[in-house]
Structure 1
Amino acid sequence: MHADFIRAHTRPLPVPSLPDITLYQADEVTPLWLMTEAELSQHNLSPPFWAFAWAGGQALALHLKHHPELIAGKRVFDLACGSGLVGIAAATYGAGSVTANDIDPFSEAAVVLNAALNGVAIAFESGDRLSALPPDVDVILAGDICYERAMADAMLTFLRAARAKGIDVYVGDPHRSYFPSEGMERVARYDIATNTEIEDRAVKAASVWRLI
């Protein structure tokens, strides 16, 4: 059902800053939000974040393209994956294995469809990872996770626990208000082409940070 909905209301489009990756994306924001509103209210689901290539995720995916040594042959976890863009980039650019995670069942369907579009294999883990121990992986990637204060705090608590276990952590963020740069090292900055229906400008600066 979720896959059918995605096919009906989005279409395969190249990612603006990584045209070698294609995702099922929405052309317009409002119609999709309205079409999902009834189901969202019935099932307490998130808005359709999976339908867009957000600036933070694009920056992180682009950084992996430029620096594949960060994930080459490694076990990678894409946290709060949305469309699966970052995990797909990791798989495309040489990760040994990739697991994507999100609480939204539409996201799981989107990841399956998008991975198939790009010819890569990605495992999916559903549910709230933030209340559990960090996964047994080498690298955790997170794109655009700081759009709400409570979410940002919970994410960073989880990511710091992962870093304490020796897991490398990279976060892509387009300078959101709630991004806490303390304990972070900026490793790159990119100008990302984006959708003016979901961002405030057509080209948005975004940075990639390494948790230290």
Structure 2
Amino acid sequence: MLKDVASLIMRHTVPSRRHLTPELVLRLITADTPLWRAAEDQVPFKDPFWAFYWPGGQATARYILDNGDIIKNKTVLDVGCGCGAGSIAAAKMQAKRVVGNDIDPYAVVATKINSEINNVSIETSTDNFIGAKCAEFDTILIGDMFYDEEFANMLFKWLKILVSNGKTVLIGDPGRHGLTDKRREHISLLARYDLPEYCCMENHGFRETTLWKLNK
């Protein structure tokens, strides 16, 4: 089964460095693939969010690659890992342990493929960690997950509990409506990045992306 999924992903994606982290090569659906313009009934995946490198994830990975000390020797959980870029960046910067987590099984297979391409070793999990204590992790990565107000409310409450228990929470986000002004009062801006023009076209007009740290 996993071999079949991996084969399907390899067949419908292409290696890309056209993003904020060209140090990483990631297999993605891009404008160079037939699926980019395919009708919905021609796409062999259901909601292949993992096949795109979303801007919040790009901010997370870019910051980690530029500031390796924030992750070195840490145990890292990358929630909603998608294509796995944040996990891969953490592993490259010598995190002690990295788990790429996504409830979509295709995402964790894609993450494994991308980690192998980038010559790093990470674990993967399809468990739903939201609400869990995450006792075995020091650092939690969250990218592009504030897309829906109801979900954002549940997510933010959980993240605040984690921070109160000593965890570091890094949030990559391009300005989605779920990261409200009220929630921004509880986070500190670590970095802001301009997206390359081709990334803007791929991401519905977002022109910049940011990385935040959740305050205690």
With the length of structure 2 as denominator, give the TM-score of the two structures.
0.87
Which runs of 5 or more structure 1 residues have no equivalent in the other structure?
41-46
Q: Report 1:10-49 matches (<5 A).
A: 10-28=13-31, 29-31=36-38, 33-36=40-43, 40=46, 47-49=47-49
Is 2:5 the counterpart of 1:2?
yes
Equivalent residue, structure 2, for 1:43? none
Is the alpha carbon distance of 1:128 and 1:33 closer, same or farther for their aligned partners in structure 2, counting shifts above 3 Å?
farther
Provide the C-alpha distance between the structure 1 equivalents of 2:159 and 2:212, rounded to a whole number of angstroms.
12
Provide the C-alpha distance between the structure 1 equivalents of 2:73 and 2:91, rounded to a whole number of angstroms.
9
Q: Any conservation in 1 of the 2:139–2:168 contact (CA below 8 Å)?
A: yes
CA shift digits 1:103-155 (9 cap, x unpaired): 00110110110000100011011122114333421111111111122222222
Is 2:187 the counterpart of 1:184?
yes
Provide the C-alpha distance between the structure 2 equivalents of 1:32 and 1:77, rounded to a whole number of angstroms.
34
Q: Report 1:69-108 matches (<5 A).
A: 69-108=69-108
Q: Any conservation in 2 of the 1:58–1:192 contact (CA below 8 Å)?
A: no
* CA displacement at 1:171 relative to structure 2: 0.4
Provide the C-alpha distance between the structure 2 equivalents of 1:135 and 1:98, rounded to a whole number of angstroms.
14
Which runs of 5 or more structure 2 residues have no equivalent in the other structure?
none
- Which region of structure 1 is more displaced relative to structure 2, 179-188 or 52-61? 179-188
Is the alpha carbon distance of 1:198 and 1:2 closer, same or farther for their aligned partners in structure 2, counting shifts above 3 Å?
farther
Query: Where has structure 1 moved over 3 Å in runs of 4 or more?
Result: 32-37
* CA displacement at 1:185 relative to structure 2: 0.8
Which residue, 192, 196, 201 being the options, matches 1:196? 201
CA shift digits 1:69-106 (9 cap, x unpaired): 10011111101111111111111122111011110011
Is the alpha carbon distance of 1:34 and 1:152 closer, same or farther for their aligned partners in structure 2, counting shifts above 3 Å?
farther
- Which region of structure 1 is more displaced relative to structure 2, 176-185 or 26-35? 26-35
Provide the C-alpha distance between the structure 1 equivalents of 2:189 and 2:55, rounded to a whole number of angstroms.
16
* CA displacement at 1:182 relative to structure 2: 2.7
Which residue, 185, 206, 211 being the options, matches 1:208? 211
- Which region of structure 1 is more displaced relative to structure 2, 177-186 or 166-175? 177-186
Q: Any conservation in 2 of the 1:15–1:21 contact (CA below 8 Å)?
A: no
**Cα root mean square deviation, aligned:** 1.8
Is the alpha carbon distance of 1:210 and 1:7 closer, same or farther for their aligned partners in structure 2, counting shifts above 3 Å?
same
* CA displacement at 1:206 relative to structure 2: 1.1
Identity %: 32
Q: Any conservation in 2 of the 1:170–1:210 contact (CA below 8 Å)?
A: yes
* CA displacement at 1:15 relative to structure 2: 4.6
Aligned residue type for 2:195: I
With the length of structure 1 as denominator, give the TM-score of the two structures.
0.89
Q: Report 1:50-61 matches (<5 A).
A: 50-61=50-61
Equivalent residue, structure 2, for 1:147? 147
Q: Any conservation in 2 of the 1:78–1:98 contact (CA below 8 Å)?
A: yes
